[in-house]
Structure 1
């Protein structure tokens, strides 16, 4: 069943659309950045997509070797080691990435308890001594100043902790204790330089309205520094566990967006925080790294819809994560394990990788937007668009988008890059290969070949200043399309009609 949808668009039109898709991307814990596979995946992402910032957990965990105590003359003293942090941040900056610094988790020698989270056991208890925590934060920032320069470091956002409204991430999900941690941390940062930007509370969608309201009330009443607000957003409900995997149904995109709009309303209800930046420092479809949806074309098409709307209310929205070197629930058993990344291990692009690559190429002037597409143009009147068709049900539903455009008479080309279940579906290819757990060289190369968009270039002629362009979308397709004016100049004696395969493809 194909649903035809028609749109009349003028190049003089204006549409509301803010494209912040590339501001930030998420990562597995900081220690993983010391691995070659991690570096290779991030390098590939940066070469083709190029995010501006990166955020992840575990900056202060023991596997980063930052915080140490020793006894001297009967007194317990503290020393810091920033060797691993330097290796990680140097690598990020070399790839054009600024850290979006998440301050956590707790070094064991400073922790008030032994509660941990994840396979890699990040400590999630408050500090036993808040003065020593403040000293750690100031020492860390002072080191950043020395190594990278103040003018660079003051451009990095600093976020305090991760999802303290969940008891797994913060002991007892204690609101009062988190407010204390936030206040001590924010003031320590401002002591280093008042220009440093700090924010929180980095909550997820559990009791989020109360948490956000109380956090803002606390900051307002106690004059606690706050430069931006952070939260997380995921689009699935409770999971069903089957073996190593968890399956969930998607929420409606409208419901996902309403959660963010409600946070926006809460922030704006405080006069001193009205219009303050709200950063979504994690978002994805599912919140579990064991959901196969992350590897699918459905994920790509659904995410495209979110990217077209999240800029309406958010200063940024960080996709969780760039790659599958991750390990929150342990080491993956297979190359397609349902993990969050844009890339599967082996640097194999998943369909959602291309969603971000496509949004990178959108132009500065939006001329049309709907629940199925966004259309932009540059100052030379070249048109670029992205269209999508998420279908969660097993029944196929096709779309046919037709755009009536007021183009000047002449010759044009249209380039389409299609990602759908038939042309760019490495998950299906891997399944058809028998789901090998450990890829050999030939299998990896085959999957890389199956993970590329289908590209078509066609020519068409505009007469009477009007053109119709059709973009067909099968179920879970994402399509990038670009329309450019061309001025054909054939070489002397070149006759494409006499060359098999060289004839002009007319739209």
Structure 2
């Protein structure tokens, strides 16, 4: 659709990039901020090149052409005339045409950038219209006071009739750019002579009609070359150029290289970005809006003092429904070789001692560094289970059943080189399926010989997830055969062994074909999984995200954004149940084998109290919906990313690498104290009972704001960790508890807050130091303990007690009431 050059009515932000050279004209003002790279601005016939953090004001009714260099981005704010008239500012053109960051007055530029960043944050986070309007007005007033008016005579002012003429001509050009448009044809449309129109156009838009049309055609040609990979001849023909030579000459004039050279450059860039990695490793501050948001003040915004009331009723006489906590079924640590390290084993032992899990899962039992797969001089397999036995002996001794992912691929068996992050673990399918089959059979027979068939039958087995074909050279047909071969190998040893699948990222559940095709294949080939597995990372593909903006695709990580659905886990379980009902397999157990609130491995917010509230919310909403909820991951000690410099660095772990518990771990410890009968669960509470106690868990879960979900804003400083969430009021909880005996009851209150229960917040209060002493670590352990208070309560004569409490954002509270007989 061609752009509309009529009046702009809404405040908008637009991201500009190299694929979208922009010709701008309208009755609103435009403020352009260079996020990274360099941007060329052609304004009033003068060309300026702006570097990162430079900005440009395009006055109303001025034509401007913006071109971003390769790998560059700019953010444009369009301010409608209604705002301008209301503010009384910018009624005359400003001299602030283009200001480069290297030459402008620092204090003036920084204040303008701060106001721009503040407005962008409010806009993208959908803050109230009043707050957004106030920010825009402050921005307009600053422009008015900081940049003088342009000196010009009244003859330069455009009349309303002239504005209408330009608007009509521009709209006509943008609807007919691929046709043979002449100046005479345009002049006829507005009833003026061709000479008058040419002079008028050049005078007020500072370019000729011919150049304007040519530039517009080049923009469309750029899109065809990049997105449709059309030939040079076809591109010239489809964009209205009279011949290929003219197209090549105009293209080179504008971009400094021929279309063929441009295509070669794009192919080389695409090749560099399409290496066989499941997750990209490069994280640059220049890949998002961080260059703008760094001008926001570092201090936290004052917490909201407004309150929202939440009410609930519960009877202490209810017996509830007996449930087994699905979150205690499965514990995850990183990779098999890491399980041999003393630091990791100590944390595994603590997890089993403090909470007690049924299964334990990890990656990489067949990684080269476990040295299981060996071949003799004749190329025949000769397995070696020395390291594997050391690991499995330890895990079995701790009381775990094993959840074995049969992978990853030994180098001697690989078909492709497919690596994850900074590890050498290979996500390939085997080049020789018979050797892979042999490896599985020999490994299972070894475990049965070592631990007994009865024990191994309680274990569970899977292979790598079905998401691998989405991002790599592995085809779905290859994945299906790999799955079937693995299933057959396991069942050939003992049909009673449990084999699950297909794993994969959660977004696959909403794909129209992936899971239905997999289910069809496994039903037809008699290898349907004994239990369904998936990985619960709350994300959306960018193509289906209504709030997605173009920068997401330019970032060096998976083309996906965090979901804005606060009930993502519940809806994922519902989707899987729906797919299973469609094939009459609704009784098949569902295991969420990996769960986390984020897809990013350096997400500082995961070290905060937020993780505690997220865990409580996700578990409470799905308390009996699935068989297992396996949080990924126990410890930050995982050799999957580069080295870190801080004890808190946004790792996935519930513990730091050296064993300091985070708020998320403390949330699980509170959940461990819940009863075995479920009375009620909701968006902010979980209520259970045991024989002698009533347990009330309250949590104030606040999800990420839009900017952070789309990775437009990254956390580079620990002090910013709490600044990426949607603003919310204080929770004021009114809970009516009935059917208590009318006599004193002991009530115990534990709470996870930023003041107590969060080792990260204590570290933050110290100034986030790099080097910590032994005494410092001991103090962090103490600070990690939730607050605790015990007192007597007295129900009224009818046995009713009204419990009232308040929760700040991310706070968790557990009340345990002793039930007197």
* Map of 1:493 onto structure 2: none
User: Which one of the candidate residues 427, 431, 439 is aligned to 1:124?
Assistant: 427
| 2:805 partner SS | strand
* Map of 1:469 onto structure 2: 803
* Map of 1:27 onto structure 2: 333
1:386 aligns with 2:697: yes
User: Which one of the candidate residues 389, 392, 395 is aligned to 1:89?
Assistant: 392
- Deviations along 1:90-136, whole A, 9 cap, x unmatched? 11122222111111110001112333223221112111111110110
Relative to the length of structure 1, the TM-score reads 0.89
- Deviations along 1:259-285, whole A, 9 cap, x unmatched? 3311221012112x2220011110110
Distance change >3 Å, CA 69–CA 249, structure 1 → 2: closer
- Give how far 1:173 is off: 4.3
Measure, in 2, the Cα distance between the counterparts of 1:311 and 1:460: 29
- Unaligned runs of 5+ residues in structure 2 are 1-305, 543-550, 704-724
CA contact (8 A) 2:741 2:820 kept: no
Measure, in 2, the Cα distance between the counterparts of 1:299 and 1:415: 23
Query: More helix by proportion, 1 or 2?
Result: 2
- Deviations along 1:399-421, whole A, 9 cap, x unmatched? 12222222012221111110012
* Map of 1:182 onto structure 2: 483
Aligned runs of 1:195-210 on 2, under 5 Å? 195-208=496-509, 209=511, 210=513
CA contact (8 A) 2:411 2:426 kept: yes
- Give how far 1:5 is off: 2.1
Moved more, 113-122 or 217-226: 113-122
| 1:332 partner SS | coil
Measure, in 2, the Cα distance between the counterparts of 1:167 and 1:390: 32
1:270 aligns with 2:575: no
- Give how far 1:234 is off: 1.1
User: Which one of the candidate residues 55, 58, 66 is aligned to 2:361?
Assistant: 55
Q: How many pairs align?
A: 479
CA contact (8 A) 2:506 2:538 kept: no
1:398 aligns with 2:744: no
Aligned runs of 1:61-210 on 2, under 5 Å? 61-71=367-377, 75-165=378-468, 167=470, 171-208=472-509, 209=511, 210=513
1:424 aligns with 2:773: no
1:8 aligns with 2:319: no
* Map of 1:502 onto structure 2: none
Measure, in 1, the Cα distance between the counterparts of 2:507 and 2:694: 41
| 1:337 partner SS | coil
Measure, in 2, the Cα distance between the counterparts of 1:328 and 1:162: 17
CA contact (8 A) 1:264 1:313 kept: no
Distance change >3 Å, CA 113–CA 394, structure 1 → 2: closer
CA contact (8 A) 1:413 1:486 kept: no
Measure, in 1, the Cα distance between the counterparts of 2:469 and 2:441: 27
* Map of 2:57 onto structure 1: none
Query: More strand by proportion, 1 or 2?
Result: 1
Measure, in 2, the Cα distance between the counterparts of 1:264 and 1:330: 38
- Give how far 1:34 is off: 1.1
Moved more, 196-205 or 353-362: 353-362
CA contact (8 A) 1:420 1:478 kept: yes
Distance change >3 Å, CA 311–CA 211, structure 1 → 2: farther
- Give how far 1:358 is off: 1.6
- Deviations along 1:64-113, whole A, 9 cap, x unmatched? 11101121xxx322111111111111111222221111111100011123
CA contact (8 A) 1:127 1:133 kept: yes
User: Which one of the candidate residues 732, 742, 758 is aligned to 1:409?
Assistant: 742
Relative to the length of structure 2, the TM-score reads 0.56
CA contact (8 A) 2:466 2:504 kept: yes
Distance change >3 Å, CA 79–CA 143, structure 1 → 2: same
Measure, in 2, the Cα distance between the counterparts of 1:276 and 1:243: 37
* Map of 1:332 onto structure 2: 644
Measure, in 1, the Cα distance between the counterparts of 2:568 and 2:728: 23
Q: Which has the larger radius of gyration?
A: 2
| 2:622 partner SS | helix
Aligned runs of 1:414-493 on 2, under 5 Å? 414-464=747-797, 465-485=799-819
| 2:374 partner SS | strand
CA contact (8 A) 1:164 1:173 kept: no
Moved more, 100-109 or 253-262: 253-262
Measure, in 2, the Cα distance between the counterparts of 1:225 and 1:136: 22
* Map of 2:165 onto structure 1: none
- Give how far 1:225 is off: 4.4
- Give how far 1:221 is off: 1.0
Measure, in 2, the Cα distance between the counterparts of 1:225 and 1:345: 39
| 1:186 partner SS | helix
1:39 aligns with 2:372: no
Aligned runs of 1:205-224 on 2, under 5 Å? 205-208=506-509, 209=511, 210-224=513-527
